[in-house]
């Protein structure tokens, strides 16, 4: 029953998290586009008001004319819309989902004893430390180097190195699936922290100065813009890290840390293409296409690198014993259910048997195995998600055995 309610909590939190993330990313992408697409105002009245850029757009059957004031508007409107709940809601729902999915069952989903055999409490503390330490180091880098000459390039290089180190550590300390998600959540935490500690407080300070009739310090706008731009480059790497947990060929690779780094780098490069593209159309930036080509090349190179090795033909027992006929051609015979049942008993019954039924699923009888053959095949053979973190040590030969059994129609008769 506990597993049933946890599944519902996981589903509902995931639903909320995706919805709020769409709202946050959508508004972030829009304002990056808006900033890059603004043109100097033509109307003299707008110039006198201090408007630094304007944009005409058409959408949903209507025309829109947003304008941007360089530092502050002549007067504050009665209704001012803020963009922060999208960020906060995304982080809160994401952390709750991470807690339900990984921290609550740390011994199952977070810990890989072949890498680090530590207590669940220790693993949880270390995982949470990734969020805090990364934010502190990233924030320090921005504070120290962000306002220097060529500061953006220095910050970008140092943050990339920091992400590489965090990715290596996570993939060597935690289960691969959890490691990818942890790195994504770590970067997403920094994104939301940028909003909470810098962007929103800076905007509140500007509004307070306007209300008090004081000169507005432009540094708050510059810092907010800098952190907002960082967030847009973080977005595609974070999304990849979050989606990758559904594709075991990424996080189960022996060099999974390098897979993660390459794909996140590709995402950031492709995002750079879109950021520059808006200004390029107005003649402000150089051709952004090389960034997209680099990102795509890295992805293609990673795909080629991770491609499965050709499966060599396996001789059947009959060939080994010198038999002739059909088996002598080297064909692998279909698996009999007795052999498959032995594998299930050794690798699966402890979580899907009489004592424990994870996900309300049992496979400890011929009837149950036949009923759930499709799920067994998908989880064990295709995606290799089960056994979780391969905690029971299933071999590739045993996975292939189950695969042949399923492809033969999942027979349960001798």
Q: Which tokens go with 400?
A: 């292939």
Task: Report the pLDDT value the prediction gives residue 317, as an integer from 0 to 100.
Answer: 42
Q: How large is the average pLDDT for residues 212-219?
A: 89
How would you class 35 by CB atoms within 10 Å of its CB: exposed for 0-12, middle for 13-18, buried for 19 or more? middle
Mean pLDDT of the chain: 87
Q: Is the pLDDT of residue 295 over 60?
A: yes
Task: Report the pLDDT value the prediction gives residue 262, as an integer from 0 to 100.
Answer: 97
Task: Report the pLDDT value the prediction gives residue 321, as an integer from 0 to 100.
Answer: 39
- What residues contact 329, with CB distance under 8 A and at least 6 apart? none
Q: How large is the average pLDDT for residues 277-298?
A: 87
Task: Report the pLDDT value the prediction gives residue 92, as an integer from 0 to 100.
Answer: 96
What's the predicted TM-score (pTM) here? 0.82
Residue-wise pLDDT for 372-396, tens only, equals 888 888 788 887 778 877 778 888 8
Task: Report the pLDDT value the prediction gives residue 1, as an integer from 0 to 100.
Answer: 61
Residue-wise pLDDT for 320-360, tens only, equals 333 444 444 445 555 678 888 888 888 888 888 877 767 67
Q: How large is the average pLDDT for residues 254-273?
A: 95
Q: Which tokens go with 124?
A: 């949880």
Residue-wise pLDDT for 101-147, tens only, equals 899 889 888 998 889 989 999 999 999 999 999 999 999 999 999 88
């Amino acid at each position: 029953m506990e597993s049933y309610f946890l599944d519902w909590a996981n589903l509902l939190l995931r639903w909320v998290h995706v919805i709020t993330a769409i709202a946050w990313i959508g508004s972030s992408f829009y304002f990056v586009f808006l900033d890059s697409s603004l043109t100097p105002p033509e109307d003299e009245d707008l110039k006198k008001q201090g408007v630094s850029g304007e944009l005409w757009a058409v959408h949903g059957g209507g025309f829109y004319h947003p304008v941007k004031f360089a530092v502050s508007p002549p007067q504050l409107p009665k209704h001012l819309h803020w963009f922060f709940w999208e960020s906060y809601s995304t982080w809160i729902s994401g952390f709750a989902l991470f807690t339900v999915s990984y921290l609550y069952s740390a011994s199952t989903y977070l810990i890989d004893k072949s890498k680090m055999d530590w207590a669940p409490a220790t693993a949880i503390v270390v995982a949470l430390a990734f969020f805090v330490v990364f934010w502190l180091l990233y924030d320090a880098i921005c504070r120290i180097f962000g306002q220097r000459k060529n500061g953006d390039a220095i910050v970008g290089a140092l943050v990339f190195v920091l992400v590489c180190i965090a990715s290596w550590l996570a993939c060597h300390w935690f289960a691969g699936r959890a490691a990818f998600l942890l790195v994504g959540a770590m970067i997403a935490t920094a994104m939301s922290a940028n909003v909470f500690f810098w962007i929103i407080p800076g905007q509140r300070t500007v509004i307070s100065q306007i209300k008090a009739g004081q000169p507005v310090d432009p540094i708050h706008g510059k810092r907010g813009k800098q952190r907002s731009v960082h967030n847009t480059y973080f977005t595609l790497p974070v999304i990849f890290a979050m989606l990758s947990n559904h594709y075991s060929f990424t996080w189960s690779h022996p060099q999974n840390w390098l897979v993660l780094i390459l794909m996140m780098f590709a995402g950031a490069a492709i995002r750079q293409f879109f950021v520059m593209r808006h200004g390029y159309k107005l003649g402000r930036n150089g051709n952004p296409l090389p960034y997209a080509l680099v990102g795509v090349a890295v992805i293609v190179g990673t795909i080629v690198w991770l491609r499965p090795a050709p499966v060599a033909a396996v001789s059947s027992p009959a060939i080994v014993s010198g038999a002739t006929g059909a088996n002598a051609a080297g064909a692998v015979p279909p698996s009999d259910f007795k052999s498959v049942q032995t594998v299930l008993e050794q690798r699966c019954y402890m979580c899907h048997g009489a004592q424990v039924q994870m996900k309300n699923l049992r496979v400890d009888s011929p009837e149950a195995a036949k009923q759930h053959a499709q799920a067994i095949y998908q989880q064990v053979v295709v995606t290799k998600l089960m056994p979780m973190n391969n905690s029971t040590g299933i071999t590739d030969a045993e996975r292939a055995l189950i695969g042949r059994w399923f492809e033969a129609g999942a027979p349960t008769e001798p």
